[in-house]
Structure 1
Amino acid sequence: MTTPIIRTKTVSEQIEELLRERIRQGVYPQGQRMPAEEKLAQELGVSRASVRTALASLATEGLIYRRHGDGTYPSPRVFEIAFRIGKLWDISRQIEESGRVPELKTLDAGLRPALDDEAKQLAIPPGEQVLAMRRLFLADGKPVALITSVIRAEGMAEPLPHDAAEMMPLDFLARFHTQKPASCTIDFHAARADDGLAHILRTETGSPLLMMCCTLLGQDALPVAAQTEIYPGDEGFRMQAELIKYM
């Protein structure tokens, strides 16, 4: 069966998008050789040169690798994070869509005083009450993300529901907070695992980490929630972000 290519972008870009989606959906399973250039060209009705260009781009991204004299294979441990404000922090779904089995462990959750860095993110005095949740996300039993979420206590519904600390931040804000998220700021930086993080993430002390700090701003442009996401550096990541206003 031939999959048609609509020539709005360059042909190689369209092929690249199609193959990327197939890899993400598990059409080409890890450990199994992908179709050869000639076969893909015949299926898509394009030239081998266009297929070769698309494969080269995917290899540069780390989504595939080539074995000399053997063929092309999907890269192992590709964890793709795609998000938009309305679905921000839905890590379990992203793990599932990458073809792996998600698991969530809540390490601690509840009301507590804000730490200094959290207070700075939320623009509140240190020690002011926040709802804090720390969760460990696993893929096929291996830790892939440590997520700490904090929400300003001011504006929360009283009394809080018994399962409030188990909710995802956006769900909680939508249902039990007077401030609704309207926009988001995100900061990325590299870090090294200390002993505590290395133990939780099952990695070596000093190993590289990817850290993403997100701050949700309310309709008054003031911070209402913040989240720090820590990813072990031995994972393969592709991150695609579409930032839109949360309604």
Structure 2
Amino acid sequence: MKTSRMSAQEDTHTDLFSTTSWQQRSGGPRYLQLYRHLESAIKDGRLAAATTLPAERELATLTGLSRVTIRKAISQLVVDGLVIQRRGSGSYVAPQMKRMEQSLSALTSFTEDMQRRGKTSSSETLSCGIYLPSPEEIVALGLPSDGQVSRITRLRRADGIPLAIETSSLSTEFVPDPSRIETSLYEKLSLEGMRPSRAIQRISACKLTEEQAALLEVSEGDAALYIDRTAYLPSGRVIELTTGVYRGDIYDFVAELRNA
């Protein structure tokens, strides 16, 4: 049975990577032709998400191209976010999601935003607990140096695709038990009459670390957006400090500008 499945997979690879149907003498550089062919196969579903690509040596045999040419084509697919490379496990097709525009004029939670888009959101808690506050948290949340902070770090997904890593910090006065935050933090705060009414948000560019890239299922060093948000209650008191790393290949943050 295993041999049959392997034979079928080999036949699929032979058909897909055979140069007879896509390589042309007048089609430009060979790496570019291979890139375009694989890009098309990924986008039309012939190479499904999570499909492992053949190793360079096998691709060289299937296509008749040099490993240098193959490496150049695959590298461009990685840059475009279509393929993920992981050390020790090879290259595979990345999950595909259309770019999303995130308004900077509305204060919504991740859960609310995904629901509005008709997507299923989920969160995986990476760490959660009550800690001594960092200097940044002391200043942002107005905590005493000997105070405590509730902190929760979550991996946020939409339709199963990881989009962001967020860390939310709040005074234990507002969230005495962060382990009770199962889905939306803002939903819980709303139920207790403590939903933020405004926020100041700063966005900067960053590159993903190896750990962040592994969680977001992209490549180390990929471009991302680092977000620092301080949220306020209607009274003007700070209630939340959130920092997050968002996938740069999916998110576009949009602001409407008006004449002063």
TM-score after normalising by structure 2: 0.51
Aligned to 1:88: 108
1:124 aligns with 2:143: yes
Cα distance in 2, alignment partners of residues 237 and 135 from structure 1: 21
In the alignment, residue 200 of structure 2 is paired with which amino acid? T
What residue number does 2:100 align with? 79
Structure 1, gaps ≥5 residues long? 1-29, 32-74, 243-247
Q: Does the aligned pair in 2 maintain the 1:186–1:212 contact within 8 Å?
A: yes
Structure 1 residues 83 and 190, CA, compared in 2 at 3 Å: closer, same or farther?
A: closer
SS of equivalent residue, structure 1 residue 181 = coil
CA distance in 2, matches of 1:220, 1:171: 19
Unaligned 5+ residue runs, structure 2?
Answer: 1-42, 45-95
**What secondary structure sits across from 2:143 in the alignment?**
coil
Shift of 1:226: 1.1
Identity over aligned pairs, percent: 20
Q: 1:169 aligns with which of 172, 185, 209?
A: 185
Contact kept in structure 1, 2:123 and 2:154, CA below 8 Å: yes
Change (3 A) 1:116 1:212: same
Distance 2:209 2:145 in 1: 24
In the alignment, which of 168, 174, 195 is matched to residue 156 of structure 1?
Answer: 174
SS at match of 1:198: helix
The C-alpha deviation readout for 1:184-227, integer Å capped at 9, x for no partner, is: 21111111112221222222222211122111123443322111
- Residue 214 of structure 2 aligns to a residue whose secondary structure is helix
Helix, strand or coil at the partner of 2:206: strand
- What amino acid does structure 2 have at the position aligned with 1:119? I
Q: For residue 186 of structure 2, what is the amino acid of its counterpart?
A: L
Larger Rg: 2
TM-score w.r.t. structure 1 length?
Answer: 0.54
More off after superposition, 163-172 vs 195-204: 163-172
**How many residues of Structure 1 are paired with residues of Structure 2 in the alignment?**
164
**Which of the pair is proportionally richer in strand?**
1
Q: Are the aligned partners of 1:110 and 1:132 in contact in 2 as well (CA < 8 Å)?
A: yes
Residue in 2 that maps onto 1:142 = 161
* Structure 1 residue runs of 4 or more that deviate by more than 6 Å after TM superposition: none
